[in-house]
Amino acid sequence: MNSATHVATQVAWGAFALAFVFGAVANRTHFCTMGAVSDVVNMGDWGRMRMWLLAIAAAIIGTSALQYLGLVDLSKSFFQRPNLTWLSYIGGGFLFGIGMTLGSGCASKSLVRLGAGNLKSLVVLAFLGIAAYMTLKGVFAVWRRSYLDNIAFDFATRGIGGQDLPTLLNAATGIETQRALLIVATSVAAALLIFIFKDRDFRHSGEHIFGGLVVGLVIVAGWYVTGHIGYGENPETLETVFFGTNSKTIESFSFVAPVAYTLELLMLWTDKSLTVSFGVAAVLGVITGSAAYALWSKTFRWEGFVSIADTRNHIVGGTLMGFGGVTALGCTIGQGISGVSTLALGSLMAFFAIVAGSALTMKYQYWRLMQQP
């Protein structure tokens, strides 16, 4: 095994191990971003939303520390690129939010549910993966590039090298970049933590705190795996590259495009140019981790559709998540935690668009229900 293959293998196994933990913990703590929005909209319960926000805060602190210490270079991630495709972030995020509500959960939750025996999630993931691949390389990609990605604001034309908040603060005030990183990361994380822990019930909810911290730290570890362990010189080209990622750059966890790449690998297994990447290993790890916990806790059970309407909603939901997730460059984990941990402006746009799409869909569903005799 040459050194390049060895490093890529390390990256894949690192992703699988971290995703295994993610899957098991998400199953145990009921970590679900759609569920978090639903709890707030329908019951006024902020417990799971605070767990999601705690994961974001932990990810921001850990990821910013890696960047500050020079262990990773987030400027090479696609989240911080200076071209702000704002319509794609907002439109894609909004459609993803609608889709995850119709599909009873986002991409990561569908993987967790599949591991626990939910066959509805298998259908969601199949349509999500197909739609995501069509948006990456197929007919949907033409629409995305022609009508959405072209509507953008390029900070590079203003001499600004990135869309992340520290870089924008540096450009606006002249504050040194590392100091700007400390100011922004500390301010955002502190504001989140104050909001999270001001709630007495949440402070006494060990499971929610545990879930939020573990998920956040898994994201941080993902950046380290691809951006430090997986970063080195290619012995064949002598170029410094990122090994084992589909984007060929630094990544952390996201679950829309990786589902598409997993389907591609399974369908074209004999194509030697395809390998188990960081994203593919993460998909397999979440399913396996969730299944392991479900079997251990004796909560594994087969579930299926109850009606044609239920089937239709899940198919439409998976399709919207596939298109929306690729267009917005991530899902509730990919943009909502991994992207936001880089303090990128586009990730914040996608985050709020996903929440808005989900919340409005729930309101509409409730209105429809009230109209029935």
By CB neighbour count within 10 A (0-12 exposed, 13-18 middle, 19+ buried), where does 110 fall? buried
Q: What is the pLDDT of residue 2?
A: 59
Cα–Cα distance between 262 and 264 in angstroms, integer?
Answer: 5
Q: What is the pLDDT of residue 132?
A: 98
What is the mean pLDDT of the segment spanning 343-358?
98
**DSSP conformation letters of 152-216:** -EEGGGGT----BHHHHHHHHH---HHHHHHHHHHHHHHHHHHHHHT-HHHHT-HHHHHHHHHHH
CA contacts within 13 A on the Cβ side of 284: 17
Measured CA to CA in angstroms, residue 102 lies from 91, 156, 321, 357, 358 at distances of 17, 38, 10, 11, 9
Domains of the chain: total: 1
> Which residue blocks in the chain are alpha helix, DSSP H?
3-29, 33-38, 47-68, 86-102, 107-115, 119-137, 139-143, 165-173, 177-197, 200-203, 206-224, 257-267, 278-296, 308-327, 340-341, 345-371
- Does residue 144 register a pLDDT over 60? yes
Q: What is the pLDDT of residue 238?
A: 66
- Does residue 373 register a pLDDT over 90? no
Q: What is the pLDDT of residue 233?
A: 80
Q: What is the pLDDT of residue 246?
A: 93
Compute the mean pLDDT over every residue in the chain, rounded to the nearest whole number.
95
Q: What is the percent of the chain with per-residue pLDDT over 70, rounded to a whole number? A: 99
- Tokens describing residue 42: 């329908």
Cα–Cα distance between 305 and 255 in angstroms, integer?
Answer: 23
- Does residue 190 register a pLDDT over 60? yes
Cα–Cα distance between 102 and 165 in angstroms, integer?
Answer: 33
What is the mean pLDDT of the segment spanning 47-56?
97
What is the mean pLDDT of the segment spanning 90-105?
97
What is the mean pLDDT of the segment spanning 340-351?
98
Q: What is the pLDDT of residue 115?
A: 97
Q: What is the pLDDT of residue 3?
A: 76
Q: What is the pLDDT of residue 369?
A: 85
What is the mean pLDDT of the segment spanning 295-304?
96
- Does residue 1 register a pLDDT over 60? no
Range of the domain at 196: 3-371
* Tens digits of residue pLDDT in 198-239: 999 999 999 999 999 999 999 999 999 999 999 988 777 768
Strand partners, 240: 233
- pTM score, whole prediction: 0.96
Other residues' Cβ atoms within 10 Å of the Cβ of residue 168: 18
Residue that has been written with the tokens 């293959």 in this structure:
5
